[in-house]
Structure 1
């Protein structure tokens, strides 16, 4: 995580990339690092292909998919 963005969202180098949630073993697209009403600190928002979005601790993110021309990566890439 680096600088703050609008709506209390934070930048992350893997935004827009598929990543692993090591707490669940699931993979999804990292959509945001932002607050959640149920958690006092920002959480990672992940969206699987054809499924329901879930949240996890940003520290649980690992194994990002390789960058491709179609990847919508975070700023600073």
Structure 2
């Protein structure tokens, strides 16, 4: 993967950040800033500002729900 991104089985899933108790969509496992240490990047439901947490703090994953809209 590029830009030091790592694979993770929960990318795109709704996960809990065990540090803050917040839930969000796991967008990436990648460095935060100048450190090469990986961080989990989470996006709040409905959009907003991403936040980072330790990947080990991810818990209670919920798989994405398929788009139920009819095809155009």
**TM above 0.5:** yes
Name the stretch that deviates more: 33-42 or 8-17: 33-42
Instruction: State which of 44, 69, 72 in structure 1 corresponds to 2:66.
Output: 69
Deviations 1:35-74 (Å, cap 9, x if unpaired)?
Answer: 111544110000002321000000000001135334xxxx
Structure having the higher Rg = 2
TM-score scaled by length of structure 1: 0.76
The number of aligned residues is 66
Q: Residues 38, 8 of structure 1: CA spacing in aligned structure 2 closer, same or farther, 3 A cutoff?
A: closer
Spell out structure 1 runs of 4+ moving beyond 6 A. Answer: none
Q: Which structure 1 segments of 5+ residues have no match?
A: 71-77
1:10 maps to 2:13: no
